[in-house]
Structure 1
Amino acid sequence: MTDENAPLICVMGVSAAGKTTVGIALAEQLGVPFNDADALHSDANRAKMASGTPLTDDDRWPWLETVGDRFRSRSDTGLVMACSALRRVYRDRIRSVAPDVLFVHLHGSRELLLERAQARTDHFMPAALFDSQLATLEVLDEDEAGFVVIVDREPHELVEEIVGRLAKSSVR
């Protein structure tokens, strides 16, 4: 049986926006599992990104289906997942499998995000792909379930804002 109050939240944005850090803390606060969509990429996708080659949409479709399947499989427990979900069509693909997903877009200035991306040494997504991600990013449309959070604060402050906005929108 599905718990209609179990949140399905996709923490989205470009690399280095803080999706995993914020997602883990948000999942803990909400008492639901956390997954990182990066872990669902195929080895071929990971190798491609690690070499500095952006993924094509053909590379992404099976991955996005897997992301949607993971959300759907957790509809009874809730789930917070970190996933770039940069374009509307990608979010639509996820929603086609799991229609109740709410998108929380972590967004910041190019300078702040690039600084964070360049400081990372343990991530398969190189800073060189940062500009291609920014070029690909499509902000949430008004008809999409979700909202934008500016990442110019500490992660715990972002989680407080997200939880407060979820409570106001009756998503739990």
Structure 2
Amino acid sequence: MSTAASRPASDRETMDLEQKTPPLAVIVMGVSGCGKSSVGERLAAQNGMPFLEGDQLHPAENVEKMAQGISLTDDDRLPWLDRIGAEIRTAQEASQGLVISCSALKRHYRDRLRQAATGRLVFVFLEGSRELLLSRMQARQGHFMPASLLDSQLETLEPPTGEAGVVTVAIDNALDDIVALACKGLSGITIKGGDYRAG
């Protein structure tokens, strides 16, 4: 887990996530190529929270399947989701906030993560067109997820429309703008308060 830098005190655009109790966990979600890692790292850094790359928690078998262009099943994903849930729970039990990237494609995946959380859990859903997602996947290098799996992920995706504690941000913006929109949306959620472990 990488340690994020503290945010500047003069940054009035960022929300005060780490001062909330119980500690808040943020999952940056969406299909491959949407920018979960880049947005998650920046979001964490601006709010003085650690960032965890969820893909690093995949079992080796999952990574091998995806590298071969084989779509993961629910049986493949559930142990991975439980590892992510355990990281969230550990952070919250230690009174620490956390930002983590995780595709969280289906509603029951997100509910499983909500059940694992001991504090508040919210989602930032990064949404974009197939064309934009594909161009991003084709441009990146060194990632185990091939562009050929994009359509499978889009078919699997159940957008979190109507779920509590979700901020949706379009990815056809500059990175700084995406992060600013995510912060603004999350600030609205934290102001409202409440328990987001249930959808």
Give the TM-score normalised by the residue count of structure 2.
0.82
Q: Secondary structure at the match of 2:190?
A: coil
Q: Report what 1:56 is aligned to.
A: 73
Where relative contact order (Cα < 8 A, 6+ residues apart) is larger, the structure is 1
Identical amino acids, percent of aligned pairs? 46
Q: Is the 8 A contact 2:167 2:186 kept in 1?
A: no
1:86 correspondence with 2:105: yes
Q: Report what 1:103 is aligned to.
A: 123
Match of 1:68 among 85, 103, 117: 85
Written as runs of structure 1 = structure 2, the 5 A alignment for 1:34-53 is: 34-53=51-70
Question: d(CA) in 2 for partners of 1:138 and 1:116?
Answer: 21
Q: Is the 8 A contact 2:37 2:53 kept in 1?
A: yes
The size of the alignment, in residue pairs, is: 171
Q: Report what 2:11 is aligned to.
A: none
CA deviations on 1:58-78 (whole Å, 9 max, x unpaired) are 111111011111111111110
Q: Could you list the runs of 5+ residues in structure 2 that have no partner in the other structure? A: 1-19, 194-199
Q: Is the 8 A contact 2:32 2:103 kept in 1?
A: yes
Misfit runs of 4+, over 3 Å: none
Q: Is the 8 A contact 2:51 2:98 kept in 1?
A: yes
How far the C-alpha of 1:21 sits from its partner, in A, is 0.2
Match of 1:160 among 170, 174, 180: 180
CA deviations on 1:94-140 (whole Å, 9 max, x unpaired) are 11111621011001111111111111221000000000000001110
Match of 2:140 among 120, 124, 127: 120
AA at the equivalent of 1:107: E
1:32 correspondence with 2:52: no
AA at the equivalent of 1:113: L
Question: d(CA) in 2 for partners of 1:11 and 1:112?
Answer: 18
How far the C-alpha of 1:144 sits from its partner, in A, is 3.1
CA deviations on 1:9-68 (whole Å, 9 max, x unpaired) are 000000010000000000001100000110000011100110110111111111101111
Task: Tell which deviates more after alignment, 113-122 or 77-86.
Answer: 113-122
